[in-house]
Amino acid sequence: MLSHVRWLAWLPLLAQADHFDVYILAGQSNAGGHGYVSREFSQFSPKGDEGLEELGKSSYLQPQPDALFIHWRGGNPSAARPVLWDARSDGWIPMRAGYSLYGYNSANPAQLGTEIANHPFGAEVTFAERIREGRPGRKVAIIKYSQGATGFGTAAAPGAWDPAAGRAYDISTYANAGHCYAGLLELVEGSLQTLTQQGHTHEVRGMMWHQGENDSGLSTAVYKDRLKEFIGAIRSDLDEPELPFLVGELIQTSYANTRAAQQQAAAEVPDAAFISSVTLKGDSTAIHFDTTGQLDFGRRYAERMLQVGPAMRRAIAHWKLDETTLPWTGAYDGIPDSVSGTEGILYGYVESDQVAVNSTVVNRDGPEAGGDRAYDFAPDAGIAGINTNRPDALPAKGDFTLLVSMKTTHLHTAQGHLFSNNNGQPGRAGLYVLNGALSWFVEGGVSLSEPASPIFDGQWHRVGIMRKGDAWSLLRDGEIVASVNSARGIDQTVEWMIGRMRAFNGNYEGMIGDVLVLNHAVTDPLEIESSQIIPGGTCQLEWSSQAGFEYGVESSVNLVDWSLFRIVPAAAGPTTTDIFPDPGDGDRLFLRIR
pLDDT tens readout for residues 500-556: 988 778 889 999 999 999 877 776 543 333 333 333 333 333 333 222 222 333 223
User: Which position has the higher pLDDT, 232 or 562?
Assistant: 232
User: Which position has the higher pLDDT, 457 or 506?
Assistant: 457
What was the pLDDT predicted at 352?
44
Cα separations (Å) of 354 from 184, 347, 364?
Answer: 60, 8, 17
Q: pLDDT band at 16, cuts 50/70/90?
A: low
Residue 11 DSSP class? S
Average pLDDT over residues 461-490: 92
What was the pLDDT predicted at 524?
52
Which parts of 109-244 are beta strand (E)? 115-117, 139-146, 201-210
> Cα separation of 67 and 459, whole Å?
52
What was the pLDDT predicted at 473?
94
What was the pLDDT predicted at 358?
65
Q: Which amino acid is at 589?
A: L
What was the pLDDT predicted at 314?
63
Using CA atoms of 416, 421, 425, 430 in order, give the dihedral in degrees to the nearest 10.
Answer: -50
* Average pLDDT over the chain, rounded to an integer: 77
> Cα separation of 250 and 349, whole Å?
55
- The region of weakest confidence among 122-131, 208-217, 544-553 is 544-553
If we measure between CA atoms, which residue out of 522, 526, 125, 534 comes closest to residue 309? Answer: 534
What was the pLDDT predicted at 114?
47
Bridge partners of 516, per DSSP, are 318, 403
CB 422 within 8 A of CB 432: no
If we measure between CA atoms, which residue out of 417, 410, 414 comes closest to residue 463? Answer: 417
> Cα separation of 306 and 356, whole Å?
49
- Check pLDDT > 50 for residue 587: no
Instruction: Sort 587 into a burial class: Cβ within 10 Å, 0-12 / 13-18 / 19+.
Output: exposed
What was the pLDDT predicted at 110?
47
Residue 216: what are its φ and ψ, rounded to 5°? -65, -15
Q: pLDDT band at 134, cuts 50/70/90?
A: confident
What was the pLDDT predicted at 575?
31
DSSP string, 76-125: --BTTB-SSEEEE-SSSEE--TTEEEPPP-TT-GGGTT-EEET--B-THH
Bridge partners of 505, per DSSP, are none
Cα separations (Å) of 136 from 2, 537, 587?
Answer: 36, 18, 10
- List, in order, residues 6 or more apart from 12 with CB less than 8 Å away: 90, 91, 92
> Cα separation of 283 and 517, whole Å?
46
What was the pLDDT predicted at 233?
96
Bridge partners of 145, per DSSP, are 26, 72
H or E element that contains 267: helix 256-268
What was the pLDDT predicted at 43?
55
- Check pLDDT > 50 for residue 166: yes
- Top-confidence range, 98-102, 110-114, 186-190, 348-352: 186-190
% of residues, the chain, pLDDT over 70: 75
- List, in order, residues 6 or more apart from 110 with CB less than 8 Å away: none
User: Which position has the higher pLDDT, 107 or 494?
Assistant: 494
252-307 residue pLDDT tens: 888 999 999 999 898 888 888 889 898 887 876 778 888 888 899 999 999 888 87
Bridge partners of 471, per DSSP, are 468, 485
Question: Helix, strand or coil for residue 338?
Answer: coil
> Cα separation of 488 and 559, whole Å?
32
- List, in order, residues 6 or more apart from 516 with CB less than 8 Å away: 315, 317, 318, 319, 402, 403, 404, 525, 593, 594
What was the pLDDT predicted at 84?
80
What was the pLDDT predicted at 421?
95
Average pLDDT over residues 464-484: 91
* 183: region left, alpha or beta (phi > 0 left; psi from -120 to 50 alpha): alpha
- Check pLDDT > 50 for residue 576: no
Residue 164: what are its φ and ψ, rounded to 5°? -60, -45
Instruction: Sort 76 into a burial class: Cβ within 10 Å, 0-12 / 13-18 / 19+.
Output: middle
**CA 295, 122, 69: angle at the middle one, nearest 5?**
115
- Check pLDDT > 80 for residue 92: yes
- Check pLDDT > 50 for residue 13: no
User: Which position has the higher pLDDT, 193 or 9?
Assistant: 193
- Check pLDDT > 50 for residue 383: yes
Q: Which amino acid is at 113?
A: G
434-443 residue pLDDT tens: 999 999 999 9
- List, in order, residues 6 or more apart from 404 with CB less than 8 Å away: 418, 419, 431, 462, 463, 464, 512, 514, 515, 516
